[in-house]
Structure 1
Amino acid sequence: MKEKKEKGMYSYHKKDIMFVSNFKKNYLKIILCCVFGVVALVVMILPHVLMTSHVVHHRRHTRYPTDLKYILFWSHNKHKNFKPAMSRLKEFQHGQRTFIDQKCRYINCYITYSKDTLMNDEDFDAVVFDLNTVAKMDVSLLNLTRSPEQLYIFRSLETSAKYPLCDHDLEHFFNWTWTYKLTSDIPHPFLNIYSMNNTIVGPTTNMQWSTVMKKTRKYASKVKQKKKAVAWILTKCKLKSKHQDFIREIRYELSGYNYTLDIFGPCSANKCPGSSALKCYKMVERDYFFQVVVEEYLTEDYVTEVMVSAMSHLAIPIVLGPNDYSNFLPPGSYINAQTFNMKKLGALIDYLIKNPDMYEYFFDWKKYYFYKVHPRSNVCNLCKKLNEFNGTSVVKRHFRHWWDPEYRDECQRMRLFKLFNTET
């Protein structure tokens, strides 16, 4: 009995030892899995940690409304002693001079291209990144120290169709945008719309036009002098394929009504009088019922200075550009080529030429508004926005989609082009 008991006890201890041994092995496996998981997580978030490691989480000394607002225009350059290009020097002068010369409401802003202007990077009120710089720089390697109150501003007057941005790190990088888009924090359209009391009223999002426009016969005598159908004043020789297709189709449609589309420009058989664009518009106003206005890129809000010349003369614009012109042109002042098929467009042109009373309705808006070019070098709104800033900065989320809703497709095409382009 004693031997059996001893054997039983021995058997019990052996099982116990095996259980403990297996438990230790499983415990070690769990620990190793956790370690590997932590390492993988660190590897994944390390780039973002490095990118934000330059953020200094402290508040700057007290600032007063009369203080200068320091604005650094950042230029990506590997050399420490970088001097800005002459083109940029011409665009904005160092210091306050630009704001003074432009007679801005606020002139307490100071422009610089050197971060050595201030002792600490984080003391700049704003850092402006131009599109060309953003397209070339690696955000994770940016050599700037950033404070929570500091504003990073994306600036571009180039279209998003020309420069899609693909870097994921840009998603939560900018605080403000300063572009031609009307939804920008600092909108910078290419034109200004004035009311007759000389006040700027647009363009803006949800533009509110006058709802009642009285009929005017002011231009009846000029309309009677018109004998030709459609003109296009072209400043560039090379046309995009979509523009070539449009011109070919409208010419074919007009020929069915015995009308022509006459193109004027340096590379056309028809030359502007005295090689002057202004004289060209005067000639079109005198002789033609319609003028074609084509934007190089058909992207949202991309309505350039060429529209100012068209709206300042007496010929109905046939526009080919953004799908929506409602924030830029008064209703009943233009024909959007994208809202008509070519058959209907040709029929509408013929109808308006043969019915001058209806044609004149397209100029009723001229009693209420007029257009001027908005200078591309204007910086008044930048200083105004900085002075109105309450100190609470918000990061621009979904920046790439805001800049270009089709950025995924564009970036994929760019990646494929680089992958399969074997040319040196």
Structure 2
Amino acid sequence: MESSLHVYPQSVDSRYGKLLPDPADPVNDRIYEQLHHVPIGYSNKSNIKIKTIYLHGGKNQWFIEEGRDFFFTTGCKVNHCSFTYNRQEGRTADVVVFGNPYQLPFRPPWPRKSQKQIWMMSALETPPHTTSMRKYIGHFNWTMSYRTDSIIVSPYFKYEAFPEKKVLPYKNHAAGKKKKVAWFVTNCFNVESGRMEYAKELQKYIDIDIFGGCGTKRCRKSEWDKCRQMVQRDYKFYLAFENSKCKDYLTEKVQTGLLYDAIPIVLGAATWEYANALPAHSYIDVEDFKSPKHLAEYLQKLDENDDLFNEYFRWKSYGTFVETKPWCRVCSMVHDESFPTIWYDNVDSWWHAKSACIKKDTHWWYNVVD
């Protein structure tokens, strides 16, 4: 049974309705509305109360400095918030945040101060790679994750169209590229998406250079910038294969291909989710092909035709990637005294619902007749 999300009062002002998930509109991520939300009566005057956000687990896990500087350097419209890692302050903080899986204790470390205190679950990993929250039933009322039905949608990236198309100088993105497919991957076995099997089959028909623990080539983390420049210089295609096939799960792998002039080949999220999140004709979805062999034949066709290849980069004239500033949005919403009360009956059944992920048949293409 999937958890129901409750909002009180049920009939909220339309101004707040635009900030909350709408089951009838799964593609509405509300990021724009939340970014531009400023509570009525709020100002940047020094007498505004500072809201405290407690991050459970310590700086070495969150990589955010304590204090208020973050909200100024990030350019938050509402900036009267402060981060703390002090457990004593956490007991009375305005927002208490637990990251799943790494900063989430087996059970709540203390009772909630009051119903007005916000407890928020943050997750960037997929449900199969997160821990149970059954001990937190009735505790979490906000969520922050890549899923569009989270209260604070925090995707790995966000593409936004320009108000008007830009005229960019012509560039042949195929020029100088002598290699075909690059793949950076270290997790070879703990995956549910079937990506390893698919890649091995694809490799029978087209050259794939595999970097990391799953291949023969190496790229150190300390040299990641050089590796991405190498992709931009030498490769035409980039495998953006996720380890899970879960709702809305599109990671930085896709963005890496787009930003470094290699057409990303995607496997993971649903076809309509890629279409909603990415610019049109900027990527190649494995689901559009009967088998890895059919995909390889199409890649060979693009490799031999610069005009067809360059069509995949027209998107650069139409939009760009933007910052989504999730903590700015948290600060804004917690400052709004009129913001509706939200809670989940069972946040674990919402996050780990059967519909959240699918285990792809890793050999779905084997029975294809050419």
| TM-score over 0.5 for the pair | yes
Question: 3-state SS of the aligned residue for 1:382?
Answer: helix
CA contact (8 A) 2:101 2:131 kept: no
* Partner residue in 2 for 1:251: 203
The CA distance in 1 between the partners of 2:317 and 2:357, in whole Å, is: 45
Whether 1:128 and 2:80 are equivalent positions in the alignment is no
Query: Which of 230, 239, 250 matches 2:181?
Result: 230
Question: 3-state SS of the aligned residue for 2:120?
Answer: strand
Shift of 1:356: 3.0
* Partner residue in 2 for 1:333: 282
The AA in structure 1 aligned to 2:310 is: E
CA contact (8 A) 1:312 1:371 kept: no
Q: Structure 2 vs 1, CA of residues 389 and 236 (structure 1 numbering), >3 Å: closer, same or farther?
A: farther
The CA distance in 2 between the partners of 1:320 and 1:350, in whole Å, is: 19
CA contact (8 A) 2:141 2:343 kept: yes
Q: Which has the higher contact order (CA 8 A, sep 6+)?
A: 2
The CA distance in 1 between the partners of 2:333 and 2:234, in whole Å, is: 45
Shift of 1:108: 0.9
The AA in structure 2 aligned to 1:289 is: K
The AA in structure 2 aligned to 1:175 is: N
Question: 3-state SS of the aligned residue for 2:116?
Answer: coil
Q: Structure 2 vs 1, CA of residues 72 and 144 (structure 1 numbering), >3 Å: closer, same or farther?
A: farther
The AA in structure 1 aligned to 2:235 is: Y
Question: 3-state SS of the aligned residue for 1:158?
Answer: coil
The AA in structure 1 aligned to 2:54 is: L
The CA distance in 1 between the partners of 2:308 and 2:77, in whole Å, is: 44
Q: Structure 2 vs 1, CA of residues 215 and 273 (structure 1 numbering), >3 Å: closer, same or farther?
A: farther
Shift of 1:92: 3.2
The AA in structure 2 aligned to 1:109 is: C
Shift of 1:373: 7.3
* Partner residue in 2 for 1:305: 252
Q: How does 1:330-409 map to 2 (within 5 A)?
A: 330-342=279-291, 343-371=293-321, 379-388=327-336, 390-406=338-354
The CA distance in 2 between the partners of 1:271 and 1:143, in whole Å, is: 45
The AA in structure 1 aligned to 2:60 is: S
Structure showing greater radius of gyration is 1
* Partner residue in 1 for 2:154: 188
Shift of 1:248: 1.0
The CA distance in 2 between the partners of 1:238 and 1:304, in whole Å, is: 17
Whether 1:72 and 2:23 are equivalent positions in the alignment is no
* Partner residue in 2 for 1:25: none
Query: Which deviates more from structure 2 when the two are superposed, residues 316-325 or residues 392-401?
Result: 392-401
* Partner residue in 2 for 1:172: 138
CA contact (8 A) 1:72 1:112 kept: yes
* Partner residue in 2 for 1:39: none
Which runs of 5 or more residues in structure 1 are unaligned? 1-63, 76-83, 198-209, 411-424
Which runs of 5 or more residues in structure 2 are unaligned? 1-40, 43-47, 359-370
Shift of 1:352: 2.4
The AA in structure 2 aligned to 1:92 is: I
**Bigger share in helix:** 1
The CA distance in 1 between the partners of 2:169 and 2:85, in whole Å, is: 54
Shift of 1:194: 4.5
Q: Structure 2 vs 1, CA of residues 240 and 365 (structure 1 numbering), >3 Å: closer, same or farther?
A: same
Q: Structure 2 vs 1, CA of residues 372 and 107 (structure 1 numbering), >3 Å: closer, same or farther?
A: closer
Q: How does 1:1-400 map to 2 (within 5 A)?
A: 65=42, 66-73=48-55, 75=56, 85-88=58-61, 91-114=63-86, 116-117=88-89, 124-132=93-101, 136-139=105-108, 143-165=110-132, 167=134, 170-196=136-162, 218-220=170-172, 222-232=173-183, 234=184, 236=186, 238-240=188-190, 242-252=194-204, 254=205, 259-265=206-212, 268-271=215-218, 276-323=223-270, 324-342=273-291, 343-371=293-321, 379-388=327-336, 390-400=338-348
The AA in structure 1 aligned to 2:258 is: M
Give the TM-score, by structure 2 length.
0.69
The CA distance in 2 between the partners of 1:303 and 1:365, in whole Å, is: 18
Percent identity at matched positions? 26
The CA distance in 2 between the partners of 1:143 and 1:226, in whole Å, is: 57
Shift of 1:334: 0.5
Shift of 1:325: 1.3
The CA distance in 2 between the partners of 1:284 and 1:178, in whole Å, is: 32
Shift of 1:155: 1.6
The AA in structure 2 aligned to 1:287 is: D
Shift of 1:245: 0.8
CA contact (8 A) 2:246 2:356 kept: no
Q: Structure 2 vs 1, CA of residues 150 and 302 (structure 1 numbering), >3 Å: closer, same or farther?
A: same
Shift of 1:320: 1.8
Shift of 1:312: 0.8
